[in-house]
Structure 1
Amino acid sequence: MPVLVEMGWGGQVQTPEEILWTDISRRVDLMQGVTITRGASDELSEIQPGTATLTLDNADGALTPGNPSSPFAPYVRRNAPIRISQAVMPVQSGAAPYPVSMLGDTFDDGVVDLVLWPASYGGVTEVDGRARIPLVPGSSASYQSARTWVLAGSQIAVKVAKLPAANGSSAAAARFMVNATTSGTRAGFTYNALTGTLRCVSEVGFSDGAGVTLTYSSIDHLWLRLREASGVLRWETSPDGWDWTARRTLATPAWVATGQVVVDLPASRTGGTADYVEWDLLGAQVRPRFYGMVNEWPVQWEGLLSSVYISATDLFKRLNRQPPLRSMLGMEVLTRDTTTGRFSFPAAYFPLAEPVESAAAGSVVGAGIGALASTQVGSGGALVFGEDGVPETGETAPTFTPASATAGRYLVGDLGPQMAADATTWAINVQVWIKTSTAGRAILGLSDPLRTSQLVLSLNGSGVLTVESTQDGTALVVGTSSSGNLADGAWHHVVYDGSGKRVYVDGASVSGTLLATSSPDLRTIYVGGYRSARLFSGQIAHLSLHLANGPVGSVYAVTSDARTGFSGESSDWRVERLARYAGLDSVTVLGNTFDPIASQGPAGTSIVARLQEVETTESGKLYAERDYYGLAYQSRDLRYNPSADAETFAIAYADVEPGIQLADDDQKLCNQVEASRPNGATQIVTDAPSVAEFGAYEQQLNVLKTSDAAVTDAASWLVFRYADPDPELREVPIEAATMPEFLDILDADISSYFTVYDLPAQSSALEMRVTVEGYTETIKEQSHLIQFRTSASARDSIWILDDPDYSVLGSTTRLAY
């Protein structure tokens, strides 16, 4: 079974949708094999970053970093994206007619298989593991099978290895077709080299006026598949042979359901210069094994032979490299998504969290944004950085203490020419946190150099938020909101939406007449006053300017909830929020039980540490996907009461490789837990019978629960499961390539179940169901050895009233958590 190793030269691992993959599978040393490690050692351990190691042939120097003659230069470098898959080829069995899914060819032996392709013509060959079909002017060629296949209820896929160019011809095409018995009646894909289009066709008389035409993408259409199921014929494409997108669907034509078909790969051109098309891995079913980045390219020599032994790590490498997070409030400012149909971005963000000795504040985003310099007006007054900021953020803020409204210090800065130009095109939005007991002062202001355009956020004499603006150099027009008195000595979050002409205070929209519509050419910014007057008395923090193409104030208003670290939101939402902070677009959430989680508001911890806090708090599982740059988060209930229907596969003990063991020790024993939560009680949960029999096995449990009762539940769940663990299989080695259930075995991932049955008579049970916690696999020529690390599935069973399996007194009466 071929291993498929692809490099994303020049791409970024975090943007797989933009990577043009290069197949380097023929360079892989399959004598040493490809080794991949994934998951955790057991269910109580943290899941580790996934890794892959493999040796590549470098005889031509193409994989030597810095080699300018390499066809991959200059992209042979650290952190290059890599993905590894297993291409499982079909096995033909039974008697004709065969399902077309049994037709498979790797094209690796250098000889056209005349049993599979007896009707081939036109000089087709196999070159470098690919089927090559020439496009010679004035003639045609094809790989063509015998008429022994059936498409109904089946499928056939192929990988595009190389497509032809137009080369001066008036017509040049390559096709992947399934032909009916009637000439010209067929279905499949046609690539037009002149237009660069891929057409999904169901032809009669060699024509289909309703065909679906796509602009060919070498990324999205790398794999093509024709599939029939339940009366529907589907044309599908895939970037990796695993994740398919339907490009056309059609009620199954009658000839598909009634006749035997030919698989045809024809190509032709009318003129110009000869060229060819290449196909690969026809009929393969792909199973992704690893997605990550190469850590290094160490070149080594033995005489004149050269090889590269590389290691790669999944997305946790990138996550672990990220700097400590800002507070959740700060991260919301930087990453808050906008509503559908809107586009916005932070053009400047001044956290104002500089240390006490600072005399200026800087923006952490934006090009050409100048620092906010402490500026004296009149005499007296003070501006001190590094004082207590917005509560629960762990970040400081400056305190403005003017001697009067016209004497003291405030901040002045130059937003730069780019910001000024952008503000002419985009609407400006402002969000800021304030704390004051003094009304009648300006929070901040912006203006162009000539003060033709001005925008000021201020508090009037009653402490009510106002927006003052002009776009033509005339006097400022004051718009008064209905915010109520904000000069009350408390922190308030203020958002000004320049497009919607609205303001939001502490997350809620407040009404008022706001006349500001646009603010072109804004460049100078004043913070803590405006133009040497109305100096602010109090604190200002987390000032950000956002440019947008429509109303987005309601989106930024949500940042108000970050003051409490979003305490009480469900754990799945928290994981998705943290993933956004890490630059991940989405998280695959599995399961249904997601409890409220406490604040993780303060700055200073890493993204991985925060994710693992959630994982531990909820007894869930968090890991990197193995087919793309993404996270998966499983709730604990995904493992409740595993049934035979949920099993990925079952395997006889006789089919397991040597090395399986039945473990019964105190490695996981836990009968006393001291549990706590932030600002909550410390509680102890004990299983007295277990302590009496084995002695105390203590464990500390610190979780981000929102109530003491939830802490007790979490501690009880741990003690219930491990006060007296039953014997279990902790490792199950399987030579998957020899198993009829090869595909099912490859589908097994973290938290999958399988059963080992017909255990030896000396075993405590004749069969045991286990849960996958992780695995190490080694892929070699005709070998795929997977060493599954497992736990006892029964440990996650919970009580169900009157159920024959899950209400057995003293055995399966464990209450759910």
Structure 2
Amino acid sequence: MATNPNWPLVQYNWGPAWNVNRAGVPSDSLADITSRSRSRTSIRRGRQYELDQIRSGTADVVFANTDGALDPANSSGPWYGRIAPYQPLRVRAQWPPTPNLLLPVQATGGDAGGFAVGSSPVQPGVSVFSNTDSSGGQITSSATAWQGSRVFQFAVPSGSASNTIVAGTRQASAERNATYTMQIQVRNITPSTSVQVAAVMIWNSGAAPTPTSVSGTQIAGSPATLAGSASAPWTQLTVTGTLGPNATWVAVGIILAASTTAATNIQIDGWQLERGTVATAWTAPGTWYSLYGGYVERYPSSWTMSGTYGTVQTTSVDAISLLSQRVLRDPLTEEIYSRSPRFLYPLGDPQGSQSVADSVGAYPPAPLIVSKFGAGSLTFGNQITSATVGGAYTGGTGTVATVANPSPGAFAYIPATLISLDQAGIKGPADPTSWTRMIAFRYTGPVPSDQATIWCCTDSTRSGHYPQGSQATVSLNSSGKPVLYLSGPSGVAVVYTFGGATNCADSNWHLLLFSYSQATNQVMASQDGTLAAYYGSVPSSSTPTGLRFDSVGGWVDPVYGNETLWGFQGDISYVAEWPTAFGTTDITAVYTAWKNSFTGDSSDARYKRILGWAGFGGQTTVQAGLTSSMGPAAVAGQDAMTALQGVVDTENGEHFVAADGTLVFRARSARYNALVPMYVLGERADLGEIPYEECRLDYDPTRLGNLVKITQASTSQVFTASDATSQASYFPRSLSRTINSSSAQECQDAANYLLSRYKQPAVRVASIKLHPSANPGIWAACLSLELGTRVRVMRRPPAPAAAIQIECFVESIEWTLGDNGDAYLSLQCSPADLTPYGLFASFHTTLSGSPTAGVTSVTINAGADSTNPAAAQIGQGQQLVLGLGTANQETVTVKSVSATTSGWTTAVVTLTAATTKSHSAGDTVCEPLPSGVTDPTTWDNSAKFDSCAFSY
């Protein structure tokens, strides 16, 4: 295939083999529809200004559709039944262009790409799988590699079947009805063995495969027998094949041409996939750069030229659009649903209800039942209350059910009203060998004289009106502590006290989680998130099989006409079951969600948590945030993107979908620490600058803010920072933001920082236009630019005017690609902070005298600060270095510092131990320095107060 050396190889890869894929852009099993692209492609990602919310990245691409292939209603189309909204679209470019369609790391056996020796090729970014090597193979060093110094190596066990894939990839995309040729270098390095292998190409018209089920139309090359030797020569395998008319994806690699009789290790190198009927000379492929990763949302078609020319003007969106559609529930509900519950009765039903609804929708409403001794009281629509501050929970919203049956906790037959789960079809755990149940309650009765039953689950076996067979019942005992009664059909119940059990007769809320696993012979019973709640060596005879009755709110025995005793009094909510036994992570997550909505999360943990609730399954890059303690996750009713933006606002960081579809979260430190531009955009190519065609600057008041108000989300408290000078110059300009930090100091710091950042106007780069198709030397830089990249823009007016230099960050990227061979890249940039960030410098001064070895105190001269007391600058237990850089350098520890007053010139420092060396007057005294730093004055210029902005 001929290549244009001045234009990258651009591909439009679409995924008829995929669905929305949990908002993840797949890296493999895509169809190449590049030849259909027409007219102009426009790709836009980013935001206008740094204070704006990120917007969904879009791609507008026109595809030829005269044959109706992209028409979902065309029953004879090649992809009929496989065209749907939100199928992935990947736009990428290889630079420099080559015939080799593989990734550089694949083609070179691991030499390119920066992947570690010993790592597996199956990892993302390499995307080479093996169905013979259970470990996935490895990238290994080789002095006799076919090229470079690395190869891929895969184990092939003895007895492996013919046609098993030794190594393969589905990462390259290919076009239906097109012919491709693959070549690969292989060898067997296991002495005294032989193995038959062949190159293979597999295409399919169905859904995306898994590594262990790659099947379809197989095209194999001529087999070769590889004789094993530690110095075995390389053998080239080739295969040429034409994809079918309905192909949705292609896989290439090597297979076993016969079953194996010995275990071998096969190495591969020099891999190439190209379009054409013959294998040309192997070429290391250029780097593949992503331009866009998203999903085709719409397929609007049109017909012109008297109905003879059809096109589809596709509109694509990225993961931001999908996340904006996902409305979140409260944190507890999200945690419950993320573990696939069998049922969930929140008990937030309206007043007057005679049944409770399953929010999962798997079971009908569970009705209220009445005791044979008469009705008690069970009401709905009651507010969450507690006896003490902090005794309630905040992770769930809505109302609760209140039980007020008489004689709670007593061994007495009583009138009662309860909830009957068995009449809704729930008769114990669905699988009695593996389950977890949950219930939240607030007991308001006296300490039980016998027991107060919260949840009652039994079979029909009785002896003298008492359970004699299987049961799984939770009660409060005579100490007010929760216990689990568990037994199998044989009938002797074992009593398990809940881990963390306290006297729950305190009118406060508590959460019980309890589970059973026959496979591990364990019972778990946890109160209020306690992890030490496991009981081992539980016999399988305790498995509660044959359960028939399942009721909440007290003890009831339907065998005897709904006899009720051991009554409960108080509030109940969140009755749930899962089909698996919980581990410690599950316990912590569900309890923390229930109790405080994950108050105390760091910003990065909260960001990842929201993504989990939203069901996001794509690639992420989440940087550790500097906000270490957020307030409660009050996300109920918000869409996922709004909730994520709230985290970003709190962090004062940024997030966006990268060009390859990866969702990126960056802490505020990312911009604080980006001190050097990655690229310089300017007119001087001779100075390494990237030339541009247009540059529009704007000195605007759009983001002025001299009256900053920060609202703390959890308390609604407002923190203010203002600047009178700026207000006098530009009139008062308000800037408001709500952040969810639990630290009042951080909220105030946020206000102070935003004031320092926006109290003065700044020059912005409204747009800057680059033209790589007219200047091929800048393709690599243009293709590698990403949102958030720090750049420097140089603008040189005619002499004698001085050059204008603007430090900024890329906020918006727009590509325009035309089928006439033109390509433009337009950027919008926001300015970097106008002042440097403050750093607390190393304390340093000099010795006032010449202390000898063996002294326990030294006298120092005043350093840069003689206003604050010496003892405020040097603390007890702090280490100091005496004689920095001299032959007698030593480190000592401070015991105390003498009292000084403002304007002090010397101070006496008492040491915890005597010095071991002598020192001279004027020797440097300073704090220990970081590794590699020898000058204690390194940070002095950036450590001056009132001349820099201290980041929060």
**TM-score over 0.5 (shorter chain):** yes
Confirm or deny: 8 A CA contact 2:31 2:174 kept in the other structure.
no
Counterpart of 1:599 in structure 2: which amino acid?
P
> In the alignment, which residue of structure 1 is the partner of 2:818?
780
Confirm or deny: 8 A CA contact 2:452 2:475 kept in the other structure.
yes
What are the superposed Cα offsets for residues 93-116 of structure 1, whole Å, 9 maximum, x if unpaired? xxxxxxxxxx54689xxxxxxxxx
Q: Structure 1 residue 442 and structure 2 residue 577: aligned?
A: no
Residue number among 626, 631, 636 corresponding to 2:668 in the alignment: 636
Confirm or deny: 8 A CA contact 1:756 1:767 kept in the other structure.
yes
Where does 1:52-201 land on structure 2 (aligned, <5 Å)?
52-90=59-97, 104=99, 151-152=147-148, 160=172, 175-177=183-185, 191-192=199-200
In the TM superposition, residue 579 of structure 1 has moved relative to its aligned partner by 0.8
In the TM superposition, residue 193 of structure 1 has moved relative to its aligned partner by 6.6
Where does 1:460-539 land on structure 2 (aligned, <5 Å)?
460-472=477-489, 474=491, 476-481=493-498, 483-499=501-517, 500-509=522-531, 517-520=542-545, 522=547, 524-531=549-556, 532=562, 533=564, 534-539=566-571
TM-score norm. by structure 2 comes to: 0.65
Confirm or deny: 8 A CA contact 1:454 1:471 kept in the other structure.
yes
Residue number among 23, 28, 49 corresponding to 1:42 in the alignment: 49
> In the alignment, which residue of structure 2 is the partner of 1:596?
629
Further displaced range: 762-771 or 289-298: 762-771
Confirm or deny: 8 A CA contact 1:775 1:787 kept in the other structure.
yes
TM-score norm. by structure 1 comes to: 0.74
> In the alignment, which residue of structure 2 is the partner of 1:309?
313
Confirm or deny: 8 A CA contact 1:771 1:793 kept in the other structure.
yes
Q: Structure 1 residue 400 and structure 2 residue 424: aligned?
A: no
Q: Structure 1 residue 814 and structure 2 residue 949: aligned?
A: yes
Confirm or deny: 8 A CA contact 2:29 2:250 kept in the other structure.
no
Confirm or deny: 8 A CA contact 2:523 2:534 kept in the other structure.
no
> In the alignment, which residue of structure 1 is the partner of 2:876?
none
> In the alignment, which residue of structure 2 is the partner of 1:145?
none
Counterpart of 1:374 in structure 2: which amino acid?
L
Counterpart of 2:601 in structure 1: which amino acid?
E
In the TM superposition, residue 192 of structure 1 has moved relative to its aligned partner by 4.5
Confirm or deny: 8 A CA contact 1:36 1:53 kept in the other structure.
yes
Residue number among 313, 316, 326 corresponding to 1:322 in the alignment: 326
Residue number among 574, 583, 586 corresponding to 1:555 in the alignment: 586
What SS does the corresponding residue of 1:374 show, helix, strand or coil?
A: strand
Confirm or deny: 8 A CA contact 2:201 2:252 kept in the other structure.
no
Residue number among 288, 291, 306 corresponding to 1:289 in the alignment: 291
For the structure 1 residues 811 and 85, does the alpha-carbon distance in structure 2 shift closer, same or farther, using more than 3 Å as the test?
A: farther
Confirm or deny: 8 A CA contact 1:11 1:18 kept in the other structure.
no
CA distance in 2, matches of 1:39, 1:284: 27
What SS does the corresponding residue of 2:94 show, helix, strand or coil?
A: strand
> In the alignment, which residue of structure 2 is the partner of 1:620?
653
> In the alignment, which residue of structure 2 is the partner of 1:375?
369
Q: Structure 1 residue 456 and structure 2 residue 473: aligned?
A: yes
Counterpart of 1:614 in structure 2: which amino acid?
V
Further displaced range: 784-793 or 377-386: 377-386
CA distance in 2, matches of 1:400, 1:20: 57
The size of the alignment, in residue pairs, is 688
CA distance in 2, matches of 1:422, 1:278: 61
Residue number among 787, 792, 796 corresponding to 1:750 in the alignment: 787
In the TM superposition, residue 730 of structure 1 has moved relative to its aligned partner by 3.0
What are the superposed Cα offsets for residues 706-739 of structure 1, whole Å, 9 maximum, x if unpaired? 1221111001111101111332323221123434
In the TM superposition, residue 571 of structure 1 has moved relative to its aligned partner by 0.5
In the TM superposition, residue 362 of structure 1 has moved relative to its aligned partner by 2.6
Counterpart of 1:292 in structure 2: which amino acid?
G
Counterpart of 1:472 in structure 2: which amino acid?
P
Where does 1:641-790 land on structure 2 (aligned, <5 Å)?
641-644=673-676, 647-648=678-679, 650-652=681-683, 656-677=691-712, 678-679=714-715, 681-737=717-773, 738-757=775-794, 759-761=796-798, 765-781=803-819, 782-790=821-829
CA distance in 1, matches of 2:754, 2:650: 12
In the TM superposition, residue 789 of structure 1 has moved relative to its aligned partner by 1.3
Counterpart of 2:643 in structure 1: which amino acid?
R
In the TM superposition, residue 583 of structure 1 has moved relative to its aligned partner by 0.9
Counterpart of 2:579 in structure 1: which amino acid?
L
In the TM superposition, residue 461 of structure 1 has moved relative to its aligned partner by 2.6
What are the superposed Cα offsets for residues 266-291 of structure 1, whole Å, 9 maximum, x if unpaired? 99xxxxxxx99999998242112222
In the TM superposition, residue 574 of structure 1 has moved relative to its aligned partner by 0.6
CA distance in 1, matches of 2:818, 2:427: 56
Residue number among 323, 328, 341 corresponding to 1:346 in the alignment: 341
In the TM superposition, residue 488 of structure 1 has moved relative to its aligned partner by 1.2
Larger radius of gyration: 2
In the TM superposition, residue 395 of structure 1 has moved relative to its aligned partner by 2.3
CA distance in 2, matches of 1:441, 1:279: 82
For the structure 1 residues 2 and 705, does the alpha-carbon distance in structure 2 shift closer, same or farther, using more than 3 Å as the test?
A: same
In the TM superposition, residue 609 of structure 1 has moved relative to its aligned partner by 1.8
For the structure 1 residues 454 and 155, does the alpha-carbon distance in structure 2 shift closer, same or farther, using more than 3 Å as the test?
A: closer
For the structure 1 residues 718 and 193, does the alpha-carbon distance in structure 2 shift closer, same or farther, using more than 3 Å as the test?
A: closer
What are the superposed Cα offsets for residues 25-76 of structure 1, whole Å, 9 maximum, x if unpaired? 11111x32x2111111111101011111111111101111221111111122
CA distance in 2, matches of 1:606, 1:691: 37
What are the superposed Cα offsets for residues 588-641 of structure 1, whole Å, 9 maximum, x if unpaired? 11355233211124633222221111111111112224324x521110110014
Larger relative CO (CA 8 A, sep 6+): 1 or 2?
1
Confirm or deny: 8 A CA contact 1:86 1:286 kept in the other structure.
yes
Confirm or deny: 8 A CA contact 1:380 1:403 kept in the other structure.
no
In the TM superposition, residue 397 of structure 1 has moved relative to its aligned partner by 1.4
In the TM superposition, residue 656 of structure 1 has moved relative to its aligned partner by 4.4
For the structure 1 residues 159 and 398, does the alpha-carbon distance in structure 2 shift closer, same or farther, using more than 3 Å as the test?
A: closer
What are the superposed Cα offsets for residues 408-456 of structure 1, whole Å, 9 maximum, x if unpaired? 22111249889979514x4111122111123322111334577853211
What SS does the corresponding residue of 1:730 show, helix, strand or coil?
A: strand
Further displaced range: 434-443 or 553-562: 553-562
> In the alignment, which residue of structure 2 is the partner of 1:584?
616
Confirm or deny: 8 A CA contact 2:442 2:572 kept in the other structure.
yes
In the TM superposition, residue 775 of structure 1 has moved relative to its aligned partner by 1.4
CA distance in 2, matches of 1:263, 1:277: 11
Counterpart of 1:479 in structure 2: which amino acid?
Y
Residue number among 343, 356, 360 corresponding to 2:351 in the alignment: 356
CA distance in 2, matches of 1:279, 1:543: 67
In the TM superposition, residue 307 of structure 1 has moved relative to its aligned partner by 0.6
In the TM superposition, residue 667 of structure 1 has moved relative to its aligned partner by 1.0
CA distance in 2, matches of 1:756, 1:89: 26
Q: Root-mean-square deviation (CA), in Å?
A: 4.4
Confirm or deny: 8 A CA contact 1:417 1:523 kept in the other structure.
no
For the structure 1 residues 566 and 298, does the alpha-carbon distance in structure 2 shift closer, same or farther, using more than 3 Å as the test?
A: same
> In the alignment, which residue of structure 1 is the partner of 2:573?
541
> What stretches of structure 1 of length at least 5 have no aligned partner?
91-102, 108-148, 165-172, 180-188, 226-247, 257-261, 268-274, 337-344
What SS does the corresponding residue of 2:555 show, helix, strand or coil?
A: coil
CA distance in 2, matches of 1:699, 1:487: 49
Confirm or deny: 8 A CA contact 1:61 1:67 kept in the other structure.
yes
In the TM superposition, residue 311 of structure 1 has moved relative to its aligned partner by 0.5
In the TM superposition, residue 687 of structure 1 has moved relative to its aligned partner by 1.6
In the TM superposition, residue 765 of structure 1 has moved relative to its aligned partner by 4.2
For the structure 1 residues 746 and 224, does the alpha-carbon distance in structure 2 shift closer, same or farther, using more than 3 Å as the test?
A: farther
Confirm or deny: 8 A CA contact 2:421 2:427 kept in the other structure.
no
What SS does the corresponding residue of 1:59 show, helix, strand or coil?
A: coil
Confirm or deny: 8 A CA contact 1:360 1:371 kept in the other structure.
yes
In the TM superposition, residue 473 of structure 1 has moved relative to its aligned partner by 5.4
Identity of aligned residues (%): 21
Confirm or deny: 8 A CA contact 1:639 1:796 kept in the other structure.
no
CA distance in 2, matches of 1:749, 1:73: 36
In the TM superposition, residue 542 of structure 1 has moved relative to its aligned partner by 1.6
